[in-house]
Structure 1
Amino acid sequence: MLTISEFGRRTGLSHKALRLYDVSGLLPPAQVDPANGYRLYDEEQLERARRISVLRQLDMPLTKIAEILAGSDEEALIRLDRWWIAQEATTAARRATLQYLRDRLSRTGTSGLPPRPVLTRDVPATKIATIRTDTDQQTLIGVIVSSTYEIRAHLAAAGAALTGESWVIFHGAVTPEAEAPVEVCMPFDGLVDPAGPIAIRVEPAHREAYCSITMDECAFPRIMLAYDLVYDWARAAGLPEAGPPREVYRPDCQLLPRDQPAVDIALPILERKA
């Protein structure tokens, strides 16, 4: 058995970190001396501790570390890759946000979104697999990417036919300061059971107003100008909202040229009465 000092020396973890990992359940000691409360660790815990240390170097939250280390090494590798892809997507989005601000500061008075039409379309009742999560603006992209990968893997394992399209439905206002529920959805055909956070439901048929934007225009806050465009059009046309707004991502949108339409900003609307 190793004392907390020896265990910390061999893993590079401080006493404070080891106590935190104990309280969180991430790395409890092998035993605690009932007489003096000293924590004692087994040598077999060294590898887990070192993995935790490396993951913390990536600024990974403790809850995500626990999730990654909960299964086999093969499962941990899949979860790690998905998390890292989400982090890179978040970084790319932040870079686009910075560029938007630089553009506005260097070209005062210019529009952040070139003019484009708002169109309408009918969407049939659609079977979707979804993950619903509360998130704020900072973690939104990571949630979208990781949830999309998880849903796609589940549907593929079940042999479902995918359309390639995905949606993000906003059930509240997601801001930098406040969380709100968002629903990442993937339409599919076939028989699929729900599993874990993945639910299966049918999105009712509806009519929606939408405009198309590029991947470069997808970054916050530029994307909010597209939402304003759709909402203003619906109000001017006297068409009340009939559901929460959504982003509709076209198949392989990340592979499209950055200046080509890739995402639709859509708002369900009620039909105008004759």
Structure 2
Amino acid sequence: MLTISEFGRRAGLSQKALRLYDVSGLLAPAQVDPANGYRWYDETQLERARRISVMRQLDIPLTTIAEILEGTDEEALIRLGRWWAAEEATTAARRATLGYLRDRLSRSGTTGLAPRPVLTRDVPATKIASIREDTDQQSLIGVIVTCTDEIVSYLQGAGAAATVGSWVIYHGAVTPEGEATVEVCVPFDGLVDPSGRIGIRVEPAHREAYCTITMDECAYPRIMLAYDLVQDFVRASGVPEAGPPREVYRPDCHLLPRDEPAVDIALPVLERTL
């Protein structure tokens, strides 16, 4: 048996850390003297302690460490890989956010995107099934996918046919820090009644300005550059906005090559030639 000081020295952990891991249930002593409260550790606990020490150097949260160490080494490898993939995704998102901020601060006259036109088009009145839900940026993609699948399944069960494409209307600013309402819309043909949170309505005919981006460009915050491009175009044209912005998705856009046109960033405007 090893005292807490000897065990900590051999494991590379401080006594304070060992007491914390005991309280959290991550690494309890093999024995605790009932008379004086001294903690004693077994040599067989050294490997677990060293693994904890290394993972703490990676800033892995204690709860995640507990999950990683639960089960076999093979399961631990899988959990560790998932955690690291999430960390890399977070780092990539932060790098993209930094690039967007630098572009906004420099205002160098470039859009931060490869050159592309902003066009206008007339959109006819369209019958849609839709779901409104509040979400933040982190949950946005999941909300869009879940709501779209729910709507399409309902339409199919009701004997209606979803037509080409879908879109999401942003009734507020969705950010990592705050929620806003989004409306997931699926156009369809047929007669369908509202059901639960699925509403049925007609999207009015309107004119909109838009530009097209790829799936690679669709990630936040890079996608905000496309919104800026469209809004700058509309403001420069002197035509008032006539509705909230939206993302219009091409059919099966997630299956398209990442560098091919997939999504239109659109903003309704008053019907006047731009």
TM-score norm. by structure 2 comes to: 0.62
For 2:149, the equivalent position in structure 1 comes to 149
Deviation at residue 262 of structure 1 after TM alignment: 0.2
For 2:235, the equivalent position in structure 1 comes to 235
Deviation at residue 102 of structure 1 after TM alignment: 8.0
For 1:226, give the aligned amino acid.
A
For 1:126, give the aligned amino acid.
T
Distance 1:225 1:202, change over 3 A: same
Counterpart-to-counterpart distance in 2, 1:102 and 1:273: 37
Question: C-alpha offsets along residues 23-70 of structure 1, whole Å, 9 cap, x if unaligned?
Answer: xxxxxxxxxxxxxxxxxxxxxxxxxxxxxxxxxx8xxxxxxxxxxxxx
Counterpart-to-counterpart distance in 1, 2:126 and 2:257: 28
Question: Structure 1 regions of 5+ residues with no counterpart?
Answer: 1-56, 58-89
Contact 2:127–2:200 at 8 Å: present in 1 too? yes
Deviation at residue 100 of structure 1 after TM alignment: 3.0
Question: C-alpha offsets along residues 195-230 of structure 1, whole Å, 9 cap, x if unaligned?
Answer: 111000000000000000001101000000000000
Counterpart-to-counterpart distance in 2, 1:225 and 1:177: 19
The sequence identity of aligned pairs, in percent, is 72
Deviation at residue 183 of structure 1 after TM alignment: 0.2
Deviation at residue 99 of structure 1 after TM alignment: 6.2
Counterpart-to-counterpart distance in 2, 1:175 and 1:262: 22
Counterpart-to-counterpart distance in 1, 2:128 and 2:241: 22
For 1:100, give the aligned amino acid.
A
For 2:96, the equivalent position in structure 1 comes to 100
Question: C-alpha offsets along residues 158-190 of structure 1, whole Å, 9 cap, x if unaligned?
Answer: 121222301100011111111111100000110
Alignment of 1:31-70 (within 5 A): none
Counterpart-to-counterpart distance in 1, 2:244 and 2:135: 16
Distance 1:104 1:139, change over 3 A: closer
Contact 2:100–2:225 at 8 Å: present in 1 too? no
- Determine whether 1:164 maps to 2:160: no
Counterpart-to-counterpart distance in 2, 1:217 and 1:266: 15
Alignment of 1:1-274 (within 5 A): 97=93, 100=96, 112-272=112-272
Report the 3-state secondary structure (helix = DSSP H, G, I; strand = E; otherwise coil) of the residue aligned with 2:142: helix
Counterpart-to-counterpart distance in 1, 2:87 and 2:209: 30
Contact 1:166–1:187 at 8 Å: present in 2 too? yes
Question: C-alpha offsets along residues 225-254 of structure 1, whole Å, 9 cap, x if unaligned?
Answer: 000000000010111100000000000101
Contact 2:119–2:209 at 8 Å: present in 1 too? yes
Alignment size in residue pairs: 186
Bigger Cα Rg: 2
Counterpart-to-counterpart distance in 2, 1:147 and 1:94: 25
Report the 3-state secondary structure (helix = DSSP H, G, I; strand = E; otherwise coil) of the residue aligned with 1:134: strand
Counterpart-to-counterpart distance in 2, 1:243 and 1:92: 37
Report the 3-state secondary structure (helix = DSSP H, G, I; strand = E; otherwise coil) of the residue aligned with 2:156: helix
TM-score norm. by structure 1 comes to: 0.62
Deviation at residue 258 of structure 1 after TM alignment: 0.5
For 1:177, give the aligned amino acid.
E
Counterpart-to-counterpart distance in 1, 2:147 and 2:263: 18
Distance 1:93 1:260, change over 3 A: farther
For 1:135, give the aligned amino acid.
T
Counterpart-to-counterpart distance in 2, 1:102 and 1:147: 31
For 1:13, the equivalent position in structure 2 comes to none
Question: Structure 2 regions of 5+ residues with no counterpart?
Answer: 1-66, 68-85
Contact 2:135–2:182 at 8 Å: present in 1 too? yes
Counterpart-to-counterpart distance in 2, 1:195 and 1:98: 40
Root-mean-square deviation (Å):
2.9
